[in-house]
Structure 1
Amino acid sequence: MSIGKQIKAMRKIRGLTQKELAEKCSMADSAVRKYESGKIVPKIEMLKRIADALEMPVGAFLPSMGLGESTGSRIKIARERQGVTQAELAEKMGVTPQSISQYERNIINPKPETIKKFADALGVDARWLEVGEYEDNSLSGEEQQLLRYFRIMSPEGQHVALERMDELSQHPRYKKDF
């Protein structure tokens, strides 16, 4: 999801208009429109102001800008979530622990077939490992963003997030009309 779409999604989740977000950031609402449409990408200083106004970490935007998250970091995240050591993953994949370390530190960029092996060994989506997006085209950009947020949370944060999602899903205001 582009940074503009992320800004728009989070603005809507927070129940803000473009004008309200602009006021919180001390900028023109035309700038918010340009960011959301993708006509311009905010500089990091402005992104920080937007993140603060939306009450979220600026790092949540960085993966879509190609910063802060890489294939190596996603491999490490997935491995740690599985509770697997580098040595255990290496054995499962038939490679050395040193090569796992090099992939995780982005010294070596894995080829597509290696990404597939990582995905199979870790039980995650190969497209997510490669580019931070999901192969499942049925997921909207907002759903993919929810998954990204969930994956960067600690187990305790994930538990709290699920509790809150359960609360929201029961609230009449937020239920879909089928």
Structure 2
Amino acid sequence: MFKDNLMMLRKMRGMTQEELAEKMDVSRQTLSKYETGESLPDVEKSRLIAEVLDVTLDELVNYEGGETRLPFPPKGKHAFGMVKVGEKGQIVIPAKARKIFDIKPGDVLMVLGDEERGIALLKEQDFMAMVQAMRHMETQNCAIRCAEDCNM
């Protein structure tokens, strides 16, 4: 897994073995051994590789990409895998997604949809905060327009 992820990420970033090795302060031969699985870097070198390749150490070591071997998503974006929709439309949110987004039993989620881009789930409090922010902006814009009208 590590060796495949290392090679895929290096190529995705358009880097040669020589370029990545130089950033890590190792020889190209050492990096080649990491990519073939002949050897593994220590934790500090692994952390540096993850930093240079702009992924987390966990992603560098554990990312599997599922059955379809999806490419690494951009930092801060996630591909949690596939879920099956049940008879009544229910889905199980993957454990990693629940952990990252702090979703707990009993939380209320808002389901939003865009026919071209898909479905989004937001925690109720995050959705309501967005609505309040939009209302606040609307009120400010209205006040600005009123002030401009009065000065005419």
Structure 1 or 2: larger helix share? Answer: 1
TM-score, with normalisation over the residues of structure 1? Answer: 0.40
- Structure showing greater Rg: 2
TM-score, with normalisation over the residues of structure 2? Answer: 0.46
Structure 1 or 2: larger strand share? Answer: 2
